[in-house]
Chains A and B, each alone.
Chain A
Amino acid sequence: MSERIDVLIIGAGPAGVAAGIGARREGAERVVVLERDWDLGGILQQCIHPGFGLRTFKEELTGPEYMHRFIEQAHSEGVEFRTNTMVFQIDRETNTVWTMNKQRGIEALNPGAIVLTMGCRERPLGAIRIPGTRPSGIYTAGTAQRFVNMEGYMPGKRAVILGSGDIGLIMARRMIWEGAEVEGVYEVMSWPGGLRRNIAQCLDDYGIPFHLRTTVTRIHGQDRLEGVTVAEVDDHMTPIKGTERFVECDTLLLAIGLIPENELSRMAGIDIHPVTGGPVVNDLLQTTNPAIFAAGNVVIVYDLVDNVSDEGLIAGASAAKFASGRIPKTARRIPVKGGENVRLYSPQYVTGETDATIFMRVTHPIEQACRVFAEPGLYSQRLRYARPGEMNEVKIKAEQVRNLPELEEIVIDIQPV
């Protein structure tokens, strides 16, 4: 049979590397992280701007610097890495993980526990169905970022950015620093998708116009992109007639959202949450298959890499416990429900086996003092505001959960005070 691995981790981005550390610290003997790229670090390899790790390291690092610290740590903790190795299938009955690697060929692994840390992907153009032609020059911001920061090539000379997710804002500044023009950033919603500081330091610093409630309604150009039509939208996000404007550009960068990447999770047969797009998990970050754990952006798209790493540590530790039979059968499974203004949250269950942090996002911004809370009376915290672009947290102690009566559910919400 295949080699013995206690905890097998899929993806060596921030969640996976942390999961490796977490698993080793919890006593798992053989911890292997699989990575499809030739190098470790995941998407943070191409996120060369500072802004990572302030909470963990008390200083702002670039993506590669942040990962460097974690990777060094993982090496010293005895985590094994296998690069150029892609998992292409997980069998749902046996939890067999199928990998491929040019040197090793195709292999089957049967670890004691699996941690899914595949991260997320960008929403493509098709997801928003913009009419027009299909020329070259349309990229997701992350693909453009790879071309610029890893390959050393420019995707275009004059860009329009659709969507105001952080990668789009970061790429606006990056394009400017490489000598390109950025005509503007267009956001269909009434509020920005990314952080306010990125609007300030990536757009405002360079005089890049930021248009809310405006979107791209048509794509022009046969071979290479020649321009886009933009238009303002009404409350139903329908373009308003008469506001259309042609914008000349050779590049359209899309920053219209991120989707957890769960092809393998689906193959493995675990439940995927319809709203988060990630696996349904409990506070041990255990999925609906008890041997499979998940952490990071594969579960729910986080704002901060610090959170991703924290969750990775938890998932790795939980997987190590599971692999050695240390997750008690008596663990509880109390559902967490979101209130009216909660768009998404994770985990969806708590066990009482650990202190839990529940991450959540509001549907609509609350631009006044408000309160984030967990009922019945488990948590309450005052906030200055709550915005969809910024996650909120609810913290619940293990003993609070253990003391809840049977059949109880926990309700989390954010409301103005």
Chain B
Amino acid sequence: MNYDVVIIGSGIVGASIARELSRYKLKIAVIDKASELPAGASRANSSMIHGGFDDKPGSVKAKFCVPGNKLWHKLKDELDVHLDECGSYVCAFSDDEVRHLETLLAQGKANGAPGVAIISGDELRSKEPNVSPEIVAALWSPEAGIINNFEAVNAMIESARINGAELFLETRALGLMLDDKGDVRGVSTDKGEFSAPVVINAGGVHSGEIASWAGDNSFRIIPTKGEYFLLDRATKGFIHSFLFSCPSKAGKGITVLQTAEGNLMSGPTATEQDDPEDRSTTPEGLAEVLKGARRLVPNFPVNMNITTFAGVRANTESGDFEISVLAKPRGFVNVAGIKSPGFTSAPAIAEYISGLVREEFADRLTFTPNEKFIPERTNIPRFLYMDMDARKALAEKDPAYAQIVCRCETVTEGQVLEAIRRGARTVSAVKMMTRAGTGRCQGGFCCPRVAEILSRELGLSLDEVTRHGGKSKLLVGKTKEFLLKKEGVRHE
């Protein structure tokens, strides 16, 4: 298969780059080993669109965070994704921490983060009555927001696909292919070779390993686990924004936030580990999160927890993003070590990479603008948020929208069918695209129903449907056949 550009990794970074490059008439392949999106760090993170005060002026992070933030405020409409433009607070409990706020304030100003200001603890409590009475001051960042990261990644890659990019899931990159001159010729994968003169490494927690295929060992990825609590959406309004704590001896900075959909959430820990794929939660990690959450929000209603999860982010030794074009092999671009504020920065990084690729690889690619580029993309209808007239109209047009599949999040069969039409192949892909199964019963009700619809639409038997691809089948066989096989009795 011949392409102009192969992007390894379809997290928010790879997807954003694919979309930016699809503004040109390029043949773009995005490959990802996952069965569903998002999969890596883009799936399990704080879903924060950062205000831009946290990054050292002059760092690569600082270069992209504020512009990325601005782009998201535009992209939320273009891509039709939920972005709660709620702002964020960094909370200080002591004079020392107030001094930390002052440092952040100065950084914010240097980085061009608009509207950043220090407010008193009482002023914070007038906005967020459930925060600790011991908070003495807070850094307010009005441009910060909280995004539905499941929606955002799917929207971004969908937009890229609308404009011609191709997505290959369950496709694991195995190595870099070089030509006679030792320059990039493509990527070999477990699904065959993807030839292309330009390869972009957006491999997240695996980006260090991928860079080493190109002989670049200039940085190392330190997989860093972050654990979280996610609470019932009935907690909506307990907190309205995003609360950071200052890094201190007590902890590494646990946050409390209300997700774009209204769930209370808290995390993350930051535990370095060797295994980039270990996303298990731990008793120690969860205890640390709970302690941190209660420090900010003493009555944190953990009894309304509906799930715990962990993500692994791609930390680097430098602490900064590793973005580079290699001199040799020609055609290789690192967009590596993208961690917080990676989600925020992604659209700005993508614009930058697009420019960089045009500049650097004019010899390898021809850049003709794609006049048919469509920036807009519409989401799967969100029944839960629609007014009654819109619901009626939708149900009249398509009766599948008059059938609830997920009762907790009021997701209709029509939405599930639309998710499958847009590429969902697993129960959790449907979940991330429609929110079916993200509610308080965590799929107890809808999982069998979603599985039935998947089996019907994809022509699979129910025991072939998986939770999240691979060997994650939901069921192990039909009841009677199972018994007869097991007992060794012949069935006529």
Contacts and interface: CB of A to CB of B under 8 A. Distances in A.
Query: Real complex partners, A and B?
Result: yes
Interface of A: 36, 84, 86, 88, 98, 100-106, 121-122, 124-127, 129, 131-136, 139-140, 142-143, 146-148, 151-157, 178-180, 217-219, 222-224, 250, 263, 266
B282 interface: yes
Nearest to B303: A127
Contacts of B307: 124-126
B285 to A, nearest CB: 7
B402 A154 contact: no
Contacts, number: 143
A218 B466 CA distance: 22
B391 A131 contact: no
A294 B137 CA distance: 48
Contacts of A133: 279-280
A126 B482 contact: no
A129 B308 contact: yes
Which secondary structure dominates chain B's binding surface?
mixed
Contact of A223 (B282, B306, B472, B479): B472
A132 B478 contact: no
The list of the 4 closest CB pairs from A to B, nearest first, reads: A136-B467, A179-B483, A126-B307, A223-B471
Contacts of B474: 136, 155
Given A124-B306, A136-B466, A88 B410 contact: yes
Contacts of A105: 392, 395-396, 399, 402
Contact of A148 (B392, B468, B479): B479
29 contacts: A86-B404, A88-B404, A88-B410, A100-B403, A102-B400, A105-B399, A105-B402, A106-B392, A124-B440, A126-B306, A131-B308, A132-B280, A133-B280, A142-B444, A143-B444, A143-B448, A147-B475, A151-B448, A151-B462, A153-B462, A153-B475, A154-B479, A155-B475, A155-B476, A178-B482, A179-B486, A223-B466, A223-B467, A250-B476
Which secondary structure dominates chain A's binding surface?
mixed
Contacts of B73: none
A150 to B, nearest CB: 8
B281 A100 contact: no
B393 to A, nearest CB: 9
Given A101-B402, A153-B478, A124 B441 contact: yes
Contact of B479 (A139, A178, A218): A178
A263 B444 contact: no
Nearest to A86: B404
A415 B399 CA distance: 57
A125 B230 CA distance: 12
Given A86-B407, A179-B482, 19 more contacts: A86-B403, A105-B396, A126-B307, A126-B442, A129-B286, A131-B308, A133-B279, A134-B279, A136-B473, A142-B444, A147-B448, A153-B477, A153-B478, A154-B479, A154-B482, A178-B483, A180-B482, A223-B471, A266-B234
A124 B440 CA distance: 8
Interface centre among B229, B302, B472, B480 (most CB of A within 10 A): B472
B58 interface: no
A151 B476 CA distance: 13
A223 B440 contact: no
A230 to B, nearest CB: 14
Contact of A100 (B305, B404, B440): B404
B479 to A, nearest CB: 5
B309 interface: yes
Contacts of B392: 105-106
A152 B478 contact: yes
Nearest to B398: A102
B400 to A, nearest CB: 7
A104 B403 CA distance: 11
B471 A224 contact: yes
